[in-house]
Amino acid sequence: MRTSYSALETYKTCPLKYKYQEIDKIRGPKNITAVFGTMVHAALKYMFERNPLYPTLDEVLNFYTEHFHEKSEKIEWAHPDKKEAEEKMYFEEGIKLLTNFYKKNQPWTFNVVELEGRFSLELLDELTGKVHTLAGIIDRLDKDPESDVYEIIDYKTGKRMPSEAELADNLQLGVYHLALTSRWPSVEPERFATSLYFLKHNEKVSVNPTREALARTRALVLKTIREIEGNIEKDEFPPMPGPLCGWCAYQRLCPMWAHEYKEEAAKTANDAEVAQAIQDFFELKKQGDEVKDALESARATILSYMESEKVARVFGDRGYITKNVQERVNYNLEKLEEVLKDAGVWEKILEPEAKKLEELLPSLTKDVAEAVQKQTSKKQVIVLKPTKKKGMDDEEE
Ligand code: SF4
């Protein structure tokens, strides 16, 4: 399979989006966020290109202005009424980012080795015997003449700035590190630094990747490729809706959003009926939550009274309420799944349930049974059981 970091990332975010983009090769309409990102990257490349001198800040901003407007002309606006305001906001944001970046990073102070360098790396999966190609583009590669360290830099236009600890296992930087260590096998993996430059904050976060991280990246890439190949065989690419749906170019094709985009002309009586049911659902849910809160508050008052009066049963006009102490089993689901999978009995229960686990325990080896017990704990819960007085109405409480 030929793939890239961004394709693997897309798959992890949403398998259906991966299918639209990588298998069906459907080109989504360009939106303003994509144009903004592309143009900021292009301007940063231009900034570090010496021809014969490095461009001044004004020249970089002129380059951005000219290309931004040229590209934004081609956008298919989902909400044409917002075109002017959004275009202005993104354009000005780009000017601000580039100005701040230039002031902090004068191009002549860096030893740039490569800009938007392409790579294509062959990866042999020892498990399947297949060879895959991992390709991509690295925004910038510098070399520090003093420390002799190569620095892989990727620019980010997003807001979120992760911690250094998170960056240690960043797949994108890991893939780039993998690509360059395989391009230059004589350069030790420790002689690379990997950095993400967050343009909105004008800050760079860097890590020194290790050999172990390199091995982890390789294993993760191959595992993800195997998963994708399995899904291709089964033709199974489920949608995974999340916060990034708002930026997804395939929203109109996606079954998770099809109802939202249903044309007025295609609507039938069923649509009107379901619209009312949705309305009712929200209202009833709200009422249910209010009842739950009121019930919780009454429960707390009754329990507190029982404790202070040292009684286990209280009486009212409609009946009495008894305090019962029950034992409930809790599981560390994540760990338990690992233990049972290793023991090859996970399929027998799929989800830990007390009854199924109790039935399963006698058939497990002593070690596995002990490991299961370690991930299981019991806790006591207090249940208030209401009992109606004879002759009172039958409604449930
Ligand atoms: S809209 Fe959301 S769920 Fe649908 S394909 Fe795009 S990312 Fe996936």
What pLDDT is stored for residue 243 in this prediction?
Answer: 87
More confident residue, 78 or 68: 68
pLDDT (average), residues 243-264:
90
Please compute the mean of the pLDDT values over residues 299-309 and round it to a whole number: 96
Q: Count the neighbouring beta carbons within 10 Å of the beta carbon of residue 317.
A: 6
Distance 21 CA to ligand 1 centre (A): 11
Residue from 31, 237, 250, 260 to probe ligand 1 pocket by mutation (most atoms less than 8 Å from CB): 250
Task: Output 32 or 226, whichever has higher pLDDT.
Answer: 226
Ligand 1 centroid from CA 247, angstroms: 9
Longest distance between any two alpha carbons in the chain, whole Å: 98
Q: Which pLDDT tens digit goes with each residue over 339-355?
A: 888 888 777 765 556 67
Q: What is the pLDDT of residue 6?
A: 94
- State the chain's mean pLDDT as an integer: 89
Where does the pLDDT of residue 43 fall: very low under 50, low under 70, confident under 90, or very high at 90 and above?
very high
- Token duo for residue 42: 């292009």
Domain ranges of the chain: 2-234, 272-311, 313-397
Instruction: Inform me whether the pLDDT recorded for 257 exceeds 50.
Output: yes
CA of 211 to the centre of ligand 1 (A): 35
Report the pLDDT value the prediction gives residue 29, as an integer from 0 to 100: 78
pLDDT in the model for residue 379: 78
Look at residue 393 and tell me whether its pLDDT is greater than 90. Answer: no
Calculate what percentage of the chain has a pLDDT beyond 90. Answer: 65
* Whole-number Å distance between alpha carbons of 155 and 173: 11
* Weakest mean pLDDT among 100-114, 139-153, 262-276: 262-276
Q: Give residue-wise pLDDT tens across range 98-107.
A: 999 999 999 9
Q: Which of 135, 151, 145, 141 is nearest to 209 (CA)?
A: 151
245 lines ligand 1 (CB under 6 A): yes
**Distance (Å) of CA 360 to CA 66, 194, 357, 366, 373:** 69, 48, 5, 12, 12
pTM of the model: 0.73
pLDDT of residue 390: 67
CATH architecture under which domain 2-234 falls: Alpha-Beta Complex (3.90)
Q: 77 or 121: whose pLDDT is higher? A: 121
Q: What is the mean pLDDT of residues 322-328?
A: 88
Q: What is the pLDDT of residues 155-197, one digit of tens each?
A: 999 888 888 888 888 999 999 999 999 999 999 999 999 999 9
| Substitution candidate for ligand 1 out of 19, 231, 254 with most atoms within 8 A of CB | 254
pLDDT of 330? 78
How much is the pLDDT for 82?
83
Q: Give the mean pLDDT of 218-239.
A: 96
Tokens describing residue 173: 């930087």
Ligand 1 pocket test target in 240, 252, 253, 260 with most atoms within 8 Å of CB: 240
The per-residue pLDDT for 350 is 59
% of the chain exceeding 70 in pLDDT = 95
Which of 339, 363, 365 shows the shortest CA–CA distance to 352? 339
Gyration radius from the chain CA atoms: 30
CA of 251, closest atom in ligand 1: 1
Give the list of residues 6+ apart from residue 87 with CB closer than 8 angstroms, or none: 32, 72
Is the CB–ligand 1 distance for residue 237 below 6 Å? no
- Residue 10 has a CB neighbour count (10 Å cut-off) of 20
* Total number of residues shown for the chain: 397
Tell which atom from ligand 1 comes closest to the C-alpha of 20: 5
The predicted pLDDT at position 326 comes to 86
**pLDDT tens-digit map of 21-35:** 999 999 887 888 889
Cα–Cα dist 115/94, whole Å: 20
